[in-house]
Structure 1
Amino acid sequence: MKEITIVEFPSNLGLKEPQPGKEPGVKNLPDWLWRHNLHKAIYPKNSIRLDPPRYSHVRDHQTQILNANSLVEYAREQAYLINNILTQNKFPFVLGGDCSILLGPAIALKQKGNYSVFYLDGHTDFMDVSLSETGGVGGMAASIVTGNGPEKLTNILHLSPYIKQENLWCVGNREYDDEYENEIRNSAATYVSLDHLRKQGILNTVQSFLLQIENKNLDGFWLHIDADVLNDAIMPCVDSRTPDGLTYAEFNELTSYLFQSPKLTGLEITILDPDLDLTGQYTKDFVANITTTFKKHFDTLF
């Protein structure tokens, strides 16, 4: 069986303050998931934490991005860590943090070969900084890792693009706004909105994705899971709430197909904010669903 390493990236560097003087609570997600038994359920061989630089709500003058220099510093450290894990043929199970934690793993993937990203998210996060009201990389992560945005962030270690744009799949978006969606529609990435996902079917979507990996002879894929891809009624403890979303039945079906693929190289979980789930009930349900599905298929596969 392939060894699992839980990697904790407790970063909120990619998000704006929810209110003046208050940091986003996603930095506490790894500890919160541990408290609700995710670590115990996954039963990793090892667990590693990499703390981020200090959070600031001030935008970088050059890029107009929050915490730009800190994000670059952190991404380099993340990439080094993930690269070492992959070199040892271990499986990184990454706990964020906001969506900006994708930068480090994406750099590591570029260092290892040619990979795809399955970006499962209630938003595309494929946005140019000029359209961002907050300057938070959390809302631009998919765009930045494919080479779109300020070079300070897109070309760390001179490795731009970390993920080729045509190897990015953005799945599950339900922010139906033409200006927002046109960014991803006009790119070389594959865009499967929530509406489209339901129309063409979950199995057909995943099969198309995995077939593309096979046809391109890619080295593997990284799975990004943003908790806000789930229906707002079952996952309201996120920073940008939107009506609708995947039910747990849909989520479990989709992830089960991905977990069965030997091309799955690693995954990350982001955005669930402990400050917005005071009783822990939503977190308990999330942990129960994702760990059950993951262990069922991961143990069989590896």
Structure 2
Amino acid sequence: MKEISIVEFTSNLGLKEPYPGKEPGVNRLPDWLWKHNLHKLIKAKNIIRVDPPRYSNIKDPQTNILNADSLVTYSREQAYLINNLISANKFPFVLGGDCSILLGVAMALKQKGNYGLFYLDGHTDFMDVSLSETGGVGGMAASIVTGNGPEKLTNILNLSPYIKEENLWCVGNREYDDEYENQIKKSSATYISLKELRKQGIKNTVESFLLEVKSKKLDGFWLHIDVDVLDDAVMPCVDSRTPDGLTYTEFNELTSYLFKNPKLSGLEITILDPDLDETGEYTKEFVSNITAAFNQNFNT
């Protein structure tokens, strides 16, 4: 059984300001989850934190991306840590932050071998910079880690692509705009929208992914969980709200299949913003569900 290391990446570098002069609050998520007992419920051997460089709302003139240089610096630090943990046969249980924390993780995975990525998100995050109104890497993370986008971010340490495009499974999107969806439909990634997931069935979908991991002889796979994949009624404290989403019953079923698979190399949780959950009611419910599903299924 792998030792679990909770890793805190307190980044908001991949998001725009919610309003002028206000930083996105998602960088406080690890402390917020601590307050609501996630750290106590996940039986981790240690807790490691890596804080990012200072946030700025000015776009990089070269790439038109927010905090581009800071993201490069931060991603290198993150990659070093995740690489060391995986090398030591530890399981990184990563708490973000916004979705840009995937860059450092994916770099580490590339350094270790050939990995799959199960991207569970209410959005594809597979978007060209030209389509982004915000310039936030949080909305482009899946495309950047598969080598699509400005070289400054896609080819840090000459590692592009961090994840092969055909090893990306993007699951749970419910932003059904043609221009938005076409980006991933034209790629060689596997795209399963929320509608398609419900049509195919959760068990069939996850089994197909795990069969691919096995048949391709991948070294493992990483699980990205953006909490906005959940139904807006149970998880409204996110930066980009969209109606519908997975119920906790669906979410728990899906994650349970992944948690129990020995090829799961680590996971990350992103986007829950403490500023948007003042009473903590939504966070408590999330912590209760994710920790129960994880503890019941991981390495059993």
Query: Where in structure 2 are the equivalents of 1:156-195 lying within 5 Å?
Result: 156-195=156-195
1: CA distance between counterparts of 2:173 and 2:157?
31
Provide the residue aligned with 2:81 in structure 1. 81
Q: Which amino acid aligns with 2:239?
A: D
Provide the residue aligned with 1:275 in structure 2. 275
Question: What is the TM-score normalised by the length of structure 2?
Answer: 1.00
Q: Percent identity?
A: 80
Q: Which moved more, 1:58-67 or 1:290-299?
A: 290-299
Provide the residue aligned with 1:241 in structure 2. 241
2: CA distance between counterparts of 1:185 and 1:149?
17
Superposed CA offset, 1:209-266 (max 9, x none): 0000111000000000000000000000000000000000000000000011000000
The answer on 1:91 being equivalent to 2:110 is: no
Provide the residue aligned with 1:295 in structure 2. 295
The answer on 1:47 being equivalent to 2:73 is: no
2: CA distance between counterparts of 1:185 and 1:51?
35
1: CA distance between counterparts of 2:67 and 2:200?
39
Query: Where in structure 2 are the equivalents of 1:1-302 lying within 5 Å?
Result: 1-300=1-300
Question: What is the TM-score normalised by the length of structure 1?
Answer: 0.99
- Contact kept, 8 Å, 2:25 with 2:275, in 1: the verdict is yes
2: CA distance between counterparts of 1:156 and 1:2?
29
Q: 1:134 offset after TM fit, Å? A: 0.2
Q: Which amino acid aligns with 1:187?
A: S
Q: Which amino acid aligns with 2:190?
A: T
1: CA distance between counterparts of 2:258 and 2:214?
14
Q: 1:58 offset after TM fit, Å? A: 0.2
Q: Which amino acid aligns with 2:284?
A: K
1: CA distance between counterparts of 2:18 and 2:271?
13
Q: Give the SS at the match of 2:298.
A: helix
2: CA distance between counterparts of 1:9 and 1:183?
28
Q: Give the SS at the match of 2:290.
A: helix
Superposed CA offset, 1:184-216 (max 9, x none): 000000000000000000000000000001110
Q: Which amino acid aligns with 1:268?
A: E
Superposed CA offset, 1:95-124 (max 9, x none): 000000000010000000000000000000
1: CA distance between counterparts of 2:215 and 2:90?
25
**Which of structure 1's runs of 4+ aligned residues deviate more than 3 A?**
none
Q: Give the SS at the match of 2:268.
A: strand
Q: 1:299 offset after TM fit, Å? A: 4.5
2: CA distance between counterparts of 1:43 and 1:247?
26
1: CA distance between counterparts of 2:171 and 2:58?
31
Q: Cα RMSD over matched residues? A: 0.4
Q: What is the aligned residue count?
A: 300
Superposed CA offset, 1:254-294 (max 9, x none): 00000110000000000000000000000000000000000
Q: Which amino acid aligns with 2:162?
A: Y
Q: 1:43 offset after TM fit, Å? A: 1.9
Superposed CA offset, 1:19-39 (max 9, x none): 000000000000000000000
Q: Give the SS at the match of 1:12.
A: coil
Q: 1:2 offset after TM fit, Å? A: 1.3
Structure 1 residues 210 and 292: alpha-carbon distance in aligned structure 2, compared to 1, 3 A threshold = same
Q: Give the SS at the match of 2:117.
A: strand
2: CA distance between counterparts of 1:154 and 1:2?
30
Q: 1:147 offset after TM fit, Å? A: 0.1
Q: Which amino acid aligns with 2:260?
A: Q
